Amino acid sequence: MGIPREALIKSHMRDRNAFVPCIPVRSIGRHSTKTLRTSIGTKALRSHVRGEFYWVASAAASAALRALPRCLPWLRRDALHPSPPDETRVARLNQRFPRRIASVVLAGWAAVVGTELITLALAQTPRAPTVVAPRPDEQTVSDAYNYLLGRVLVIRQEHADLKAPGASYNVIKYNPLGSADFVNPNFDVAYLEAWFAVDGYTPVLLEVPEIRGRYYTAEILDEWGEVIANINERRFPSKPFGRFALVAPGSTAKIPAGAGRIELHSNKAKMVARVELKGDPYSAVKLQRQFKARSLGEPAIKQPPAVPIFDNNQLIGVEVFDDVDAKLSSALDVSPIAAEMQQKVRAVAAYIQTNHEGRAAVDRQLREKVIPEFKEYAFTKSAPYRNHWVGGAQTGSYGRDYRLRTVVNYAGIWANDTDEVIYFVATRDANEKLLNGSNSYVIHFPSDKLPNSVVNSYWSVILVGVPDYRVVPNPLNRFTLNSYSSLKAETDGSLKISIGPKPVAGVDESNWLPAPDGKTFSLTFRTYVPKDLVKRGEWAPPAVTAVP
């Protein structure tokens, strides 16, 4: 019975020019190994390359070991080999020899080296000499960060979603009314959400109930926040409800008869479905529960890449560029400029990995300049700025505008496209001062520009805290006002909405949206199924005006 070839390992312990013979432990029987270990006190060495154990002699015993191979030419040749170790640090002889000879050789070694046998850690394949990557300019760093942050924000949300009790892939979560564990939620609807995971052989079957007389949509997005589809009577008029098979890109898997086929952008997708309450929450919840989903098999599911814990107040810094291949390869980006942006990301990643001082410098640039500029852009420059509201931008399908996509993932993740909804966000009042719960404000809609007149479905305004963009508790549990709220109009037909820590004088309390006393906040105004003048940018909510 032949045994594995002999190995020759260079010692790094003492004599760095000496070569030390060793033999894989699997070359000898368990009894022989145990005997040798107990008699001369040798220690095991595990190879990271082959997963084997080796018995290795120290460099101090090199001279004696060189004498032994004189009667074994095959060993002498490698013991005196003048060249450095190859890329695995192990040179293996071509000969195979019987177990008995192996035992004899080991016995000889024991007699010569005694307790000089030691353990030598066999390293992994040695890296080539470190080459410092060229330093990217400041614009490249900024572009790369603004691009990659968009993906990392979705990864963060995936981790958060799957930590919820009972959460799993291909399982729908029916959110209780008034709850949604993501930024800037809509409390005018019954929400349901799910992470779908498929592979080339395993689709997911989604069932959408028939819904009439109220707004609904099953929005499906990819892992970058791009909308794949909206299932409703407006977007899928030939099949607004029923069964739909969600399949991996290029999949030829058989789907059930009659199911509508929807091809995803990658092997995962997020669904956020909404059913309008419309003053009848009981019926909305009943419809919510009629959405069903199940996997048609057992797909191979990859866990999301690891990301450090961070929040919207303290955004992730240079760590965003760690392990970029895992982040970028985890989901296809359909942006037409994905390749060039990912090249910038890799250029920055390569630089910070080969230059410690450069890594610190990039982190300083991010925290002192790039991140503050990103936040300022998000709230005042990412879309048209009218009446001190930023909004009306093309969301849902972003094309080349990766920066807007990242802004949306930061301040209002899972935003839909503009045919479904157009968003307006205010963080400043008519005097360009930050909105603060210590103050009182009024939004005054003229009678000829009432919010109901610019939508085909409904409108709503919600107040969230800054910078987390989560709803702020208040004694009335009133977080939003909308088309169905019991709002009282002014005598001239206009409409006033008040915001502040307490009701505003002159405005009916039913029109009051409570604000967190002493804290900054943001307002989001949604126009569902907006009319063309909103799409053309000819309408925006009136300015938020401070009152004494």
CATH number of the domain encompassing residue 439: 2.60.120.600
Confidence (pLDDT) at 380 = 83
For 441-480, what is each residue's pLDDT tens digit?
999 999 999 999 999 999 999 999 887 777 788 888 888 9
331 in any annotated domain:
yes
Using CA atoms, how far apart are residues 480 and 514, in angstroms rounded to an integer? 9
φ, ψ of residue 354 to 5 degrees: the values are: -115, 5
| C-alpha dist (Å) from residue 465 to 343, 479, 516, 521, 522 | 36, 11, 8, 4, 6
Share of the chain above pLDDT 90, in %: 66
Residue 407 sits in the same domain as residue 540: yes
Determine the 3-state secondary structure of 191 from DSSP.
strand
Which residues are bridge partners to 202 per DSSP?
Answer: 199
Residue 365 sits in the same domain as residue 489: no
Yes or no: say if 196 and 211 are a contact pair by the CB < 8 Å rule.
no
Residue 507 sits in the same domain as residue 409: yes
For 187-197, what is each residue's pLDDT tens digit?
789 999 999 99
Residue 393 sits in the same domain as residue 533: yes
Yes or no: say if 182 and 414 are a contact pair by the CB < 8 Å rule.
yes
125 in any annotated domain:
no
Q: How many domains does the chain have?
A: 4
- Residue closest to 529 by CA, chosen among 261, 274, 182: 274
Classify residue 174 as exposed, middle or buried by CB count within 10 Å of its CB (0-12, 13-18, 19+).
middle
Confidence of residue 102 (pLDDT cuts 50, 70, 90): very low
The mean pLDDT value for 190-218 works out to 97
Confidence (pLDDT) at 84 = 43
Using CA atoms, how far apart are residues 280 and 276, in angstroms rounded to an integer? 9
Task: Say yes or no to pLDDT of 548 above 50.
Answer: yes
Task: Say yes or no to pLDDT of 511 above 90.
Answer: yes
Share of the chain above pLDDT 70, in %: 75
Determine the 3-state secondary structure of 143 from DSSP.
helix
Residue 204 sits in the same domain as residue 288: yes
Using CA atoms, how far apart are residues 292 and 205, in angstroms rounded to an integer? 8
Q: Where is 139: in which H helix or E strand?
A: helix 138-162
- Residue closest to 296 by CA, chosen among 222, 201, 366: 201
307 in any annotated domain:
no
CATH of the domain at 210: 2.60.40.1610
φ, ψ of residue 232 to 5 degrees: the values are: -165, 180
User: What DSSP designation does 282 have?
Assistant: H
Helix axes 99-113, 30-40, angle to 10 degrees: 0
306 in any annotated domain:
no
Residue 409 sits in the same domain as residue 535: yes
Residue 338 sits in the same domain as residue 418: no
For 14-31, what is each residue's pLDDT tens digit?
333 344 444 444 444 444
The residue segments making up the domain with residue 256 are 170-295
342 in any annotated domain:
yes
Cβ-based neighbour number of residue 406 at 10 Å? 27
447 in any annotated domain:
yes
435 in any annotated domain:
yes
State the DSSP string of 432-488.
SPBPBTTSEEEEEE-GGG-GGGGBSS-EEEEEEETTT--B---TT---EEETTS-PP
Residue 195 sits in the same domain as residue 221: yes
Residue 349 sits in the same domain as residue 475: no
Pairing of strands 459-465, 204-208: unpaired
Task: Say yes or no to pLDDT of 60 above 70.
Answer: no
Would you state the structure tokens that stand for residue 287, as one six-digit string? 């419809």
Residue 499 sits in the same domain as residue 389: yes
Would you state the structure tokens that stand for residue 73, as one six-digit string? 């030419």
- Residue closest to 109 by CA, chosen among 61, 45, 76, 47: 61
Confidence (pLDDT) at 183 = 60
Residue 26 sits in the same domain as residue 41: yes
φ, ψ of residue 450 to 5 degrees: the values are: -65, 150
Which residues are bridge partners to 463 per DSSP?
Answer: 523
Confidence of residue 179 (pLDDT cuts 50, 70, 90): low
178 in any annotated domain:
yes
φ, ψ of residue 291 to 5 degrees: the values are: -75, 130
- Boundary residue ending a domain (375, 396, 427): 375
Using CA atoms, how far apart are residues 170 and 162, in angstroms rounded to an integer? 11
For 233-250, what is each residue's pLDDT tens digit?
999 999 999 999 999 999
Residue 400 sits in the same domain as residue 513: yes
The more confident residue out of 95 and 316 is 316
Which residues have C-beta within 8 Å of that of residue 209, sequence separation ≥ 6? Answer: 241, 287, 290, 291
Q: Does residue 140 come out as left (phi exceeding 0), alpha (psi in the -120 to 50 range) or beta? A: alpha
Using CA atoms, how far apart are residues 104 and 58, in angstroms rounded to an integer? 19
User: What DSSP designation does 98 have?
Assistant: B
Which residues are bridge partners to 481 per DSSP?
Answer: 461
Would you state the structure tokens that stand for residue 210, as one six-digit string? 């028939």
Confidence of residue 131 (pLDDT cuts 50, 70, 90): confident
- Boundary residue ending a domain (327, 350, 375): 375
- Boundary residue ending a domain (357, 375, 393): 375
Cβ-based neighbour number of residue 135 at 10 Å? 16
